Structure 1
Amino acid sequence: MNTHQEYGFFLSYNNMEDIFRLPVNPETLEIKEVGEGKSYTIIDLGEINAISYPKLTEITLESIFPAQRYPFVLVPETGKNRLLKPFEYVEMIKKWMTSRRPIRFVFSGLETRESAQTSDLPVSMAMSIESFNWKLSAGTSGDIEYSLSLKKYVFYQAAPVKVVKGAAKTQQQRAGDRKAPAVYKLKAGDNLWRIAQKVLGDGSRWKEIQKLNDIPDSELRKLPVGKTIKLP
């Protein structure tokens, strides 16, 4: 059986209101995950290391926004993820930065076989744009070279305070980038990963939907259109 491995990088904003695939895959994906431990020297004991919480994940991408359709350009000519003009990508990223809201970064590895297609998403997280540097390539091609630095974003919000018998208590509330509905009506072409990604903001939660609705494995590839399912 022939197997073809294709990788894709996607950036989206405001729950996929804006979304595009990087037209040219970066040659490398730099992911930085480090701790913040500190060393101390104690008399009669020597140096000790205090382990702290890890810092937020940082990702760096470097590639080009092409002005023409080279053989290595990955996006289609038409459709929602069509190839944009180089400055359209630049303006979209600048607009996202100005909004001071997080974006979502997805790195996908799509393993395509002759008779079936499966997908694996090793990276999918909300991130802030820390820096965006770009320049026109040398010559007259019109390509734009860019470097994009992202940092993992943790959703948070202030918790209201309640005073109980003179003591202050806080009510913890889970923050997120969307308010998920309780049910979802299946449409043609739906699959559980796509529903979890679109509605819950995390495609890896598709198994929760399957378990909650007692959906057998044999039904996963062809869900009944029009059926209403519950969401976690």
Structure 2
Amino acid sequence: MRIIAKEFNNPSNRLEFSWLPTEIKDNGGNVMFASYNLLDRGEFVRPSGNDLRKISWDGRFPGEARKEEPYLVSDWEAPEDCDDLLRQWASKRKKVKLTIENTNINKFTCYINNYSSTYTGGFGDIEYSIEWIAYKSLSVNVTKRSKTVKKQTKRAKKDYKTHIVKSGDTLWGIAAKYLGKGTRWKEIYKLNKSTIEKAAKAQGFKSSHNGHWIWPKTTLKLPKK
């Protein structure tokens, strides 16, 4: 039986545990429950999917004085080097592939979730405790926000256009040209009465005789066609 850990993106960076632990714990990824307390609504729990699988054990990296012991299952490595590598993987959240021969733990992709170690005894050993937690890819569905379309308030269209009176123009002729009927001249006069009468007085007349006379350069508003 061997325990081998390889860095996921750099397999040459590996560690083979020469001293096997007496027990390995595997939670198998059980159903996980989440607990919530919503203020005055009290506490409730609900299943929130499967818990991540965790593998853990307590072990020992033997000191140099034990390097020739027959119970070592692989070549001896300095315990300080083993300890440093595991601490690097833990602190830098390195993804690792863990294999424990003769078990169903084969190329188990994981992170080091917890790791602690201490020097012990007179042989230069380092005792450690380690827990590995399964790597799980996270897929995030991004919902695009719909763009808020600003409604542009269109300016109210004017009900009329304008016509600048030229020499020879009459309200009848203007009505026929723009409104399709000369008989609508009264609408033009009504809409422009003050303007036409003001122009008449400017020309020295008392009135325009209800639009009978109009003068060049007078701007007239035109009703809808």
TM-score (norm 2): 0.52
Tell me the residue number matched to 1:11: 5
Kindly provide the CA deviation profile for residues 179-204 of structure 1, in whole angstroms up to 9, marking residues without a partner as x: xxxxxxxxxxxxxxxxxxxxxxxxxx
The alpha carbon displacement at 1:161 in A equals 7.2
Q: Given residue 36 of structure 1, which amino acid in structure 2 is its aligned partner? A: M
| 1:146 to 2:128 alignment | yes
Tell me the residue number matched to 1:93: 86
Tell me the residue number matched to 2:22: 27
Mapped to 1, the partners of 2:139 and 2:80 lie a distance apart of 35
Q: Given residue 135 of structure 1, which amino acid in structure 2 is its aligned partner? A: T
| 1:129 to 2:104 alignment | no
Mapped to 2, the partners of 1:12 and 1:72 lie a distance apart of 23
The alpha carbon displacement at 1:97 in A equals 1.9
Tell me the residue number matched to 1:53: 49
Kindly provide the CA deviation profile for residues 160-194 of structure 1, in whole angstroms up to 9, marking residues without a partner as x: 7789xx69xxxxxxxxxxxxxxxxxxxxxxxxxxx
The alpha carbon displacement at 1:8 in A equals 1.2
The 3 A distance-change label for structure 1 pair 35 and 92 is same
Q: Given residue 116 of structure 2, which amino acid in structure 1 is its aligned partner? A: N
Residue ranges of structure 1 left out of the alignment (5+ in a row) = 1-6, 40-48, 77-82, 110-119, 168-232
The alpha carbon displacement at 1:156 in A equals 3.4
Tell me the residue number matched to 2:72: 73
Kindly provide the CA deviation profile for residues 12-62 of structure 1, in whole angstroms up to 9, marking residues without a partner as x: 1124131121111111110113212479xxxxxxxxx96541100111121
- SS, match of residue 95 in structure 1: helix
Match runs of 1:171-186 below 5 Å = none
Mapped to 2, the partners of 1:51 and 1:161 lie a distance apart of 25
Tell me whether 85-94 or 28-37 shows the greater mean CA deviation: 28-37
Kindly provide the CA deviation profile for residues 76-99 of structure 1, in whole angstroms up to 9, marking residues without a partner as x: 3xxxxxx21000001111111232
> How many residues end up aligned between the 2 structures?
135
Mapped to 2, the partners of 1:122 and 1:101 lie a distance apart of 19
**Which structure carries more strand by proportion?**
1
- SS, match of residue 17 in structure 1: strand
Mapped to 1, the partners of 2:139 and 2:48 lie a distance apart of 23
Mapped to 1, the partners of 2:105 and 2:114 lie a distance apart of 23
The alpha carbon displacement at 1:10 in A equals 0.9
Mapped to 2, the partners of 1:101 and 1:159 lie a distance apart of 25
Q: Given residue 155 of structure 1, which amino acid in structure 2 is its aligned partner? A: S
**Which structure carries more helix by proportion?**
2
Identity of aligned residues (%): 17
| 1:155 to 2:149 alignment | no
Q: Given residue 74 of structure 1, which amino acid in structure 2 is its aligned partner? A: V
Report which of the two structures shows the higher radius of gyration computed on alpha carbons. Answer: 2
The 3 A distance-change label for structure 1 pair 15 and 146 is same
Q: Given residue 143 of structure 1, which amino acid in structure 2 is its aligned partner? A: D
Mapped to 1, the partners of 2:143 and 2:46 lie a distance apart of 33
The 3 A distance-change label for structure 1 pair 50 and 155 is closer
The 3 A distance-change label for structure 1 pair 91 and 23 is same
